């Protein structure tokens, strides 16, 4: 299934309320930390493939912060880590 490519500004309008089971790479946390360092140090954008309540989405953006349960994008938008399928560098 191909993700729907959306603009990062639309993340604020997405819903993450329904339970979704996603198979995640065991290296995802390390990759999120790496993407955060690249975003803060070099303003490097990454592709983030994730599930919202309506299906698979993809955005290309900078990750500004990685917490224990969410990542923060520019503009104060948040995506739950447990909804992230893959990062593309």
CA distance 20 to 74: 25
pLDDT at position 87: 97
pLDDT at position 27: 96
pLDDT at position 1: 82
pLDDT at position 75: 85
From the first residue on, what is the mean pLDDT of each consecutive set of 10 residues in the chain (89 residues)?
95 96 94 97 97 97 97 94 97
- Say which residue the tokens 């995640």 belong to: 24
pLDDT at position 85: 97
Task: Tell me the domains of the chain and their CATH numbers.
Answer: 1-11+40-89 (2.30.30)
Q: What is the pTM of this model?
A: 0.95
């Amino acid at each position: 299934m191909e993700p729907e490519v959306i603009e990062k500004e639309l993340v604020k309008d997405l819903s993450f309320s329904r339970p979704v089971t996603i198979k995640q790479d065991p290296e995802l946390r390390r990759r999120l930390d790496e993407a955060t360092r690249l975003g803060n140090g070099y303003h490097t954008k990454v592709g983030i493939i994730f599930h919202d309540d309506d299906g698979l989405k993809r955005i290309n953006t900078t990750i500004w912060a990685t917490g224990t349960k969410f990542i923060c994008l520019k503009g104060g938008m948040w995506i739950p880590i447990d909804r992230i399928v893959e990062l593309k560098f």
